[in-house]
Amino acid sequence: MELPEGLRELLELAEAQGEDDVVYMLLQILTGHCGAPVVWRSTFQKTVALSSTEAEYMALSDCVKECVWMRRLLKDIGAEQVGATVIYEDNQGAMALAKNVGYQARTKHIDIPYHFIREKVVSNEVELEYVDTKN
C-alpha cells in the first residue's frame, strides 16, 4: 500500500474476516512519530460486528484511543503536537459514521463507547483521511 505524504502519528489498517454472516476484525495499529514506528499491535476484536463498516468503526475507536495516548505522552515530555493527528482509514462507511453526529437507525445498536471517535473528530484532535488499500 502506498501511503500519502505527511504520515504524522497513526496508521490504522484492519482486515475483516467473515465467518458466515458474522465479521470478526483483526485489528492492526501502527503508531509512529517523526517517521519512526513507536508501537505496533495486532489482535482480534473481542466483540462481534454485524458488518465490515461496524468492524472497521470499532477498530477505528481503538486507533483513536492509541492516538489520544500518544498525544498525551508527547505533551508530557514537552513535545505537544500542534493540529489534528491524521488517521488513515480504508473504509468509507466507517469514516462517514465517525463524522456523522446525528441519529442513524441502521447503527443504533453500536455501543456508545465506540462513538468516542466523534468527540475527537469534532474537537479537532484527530482527522480522518481515506486511503485506498488496493494500491
Does some domain include residue 106?
yes
Does some domain include residue 57?
yes
Over pLDDT 70: what percentage of the chain? 56
Q: Distance (Å, rounded) from C-alpha 42 to C-alpha 45? A: 10
- At residue 10, does pLDDT exceed 50? no
Does some domain include residue 2?
no
- Give the residue among 59, 65, 57, 66 at the shortest CA–CA distance from 96: 57
Predicted confidence (pLDDT) per residue in 97-106, tens digit: 888 766 566 6
Does some domain include residue 1?
no
Q: Is 2 exposed, middle or buried (0-12, 13-18, 19+ CB in 10 A)?
A: exposed
Predicted confidence (pLDDT) per residue in 82-123, tens digit: 889 888 888 888 888 888 766 566 666 666 677 788 889 999
pTM of the model: 0.68
What DSSP character marks residue 79?
A: -
Find the CATH number of the domain harbouring 26. Answer: 3.30.420
Cell numbers at 29, concatenated: 495499529
Q: Which domain holds residue 94?
A: 10-130
Q: Distance (Å, rounded) from C-alpha 133 to C-alpha 135? A: 5
Domain count, the chain: 1
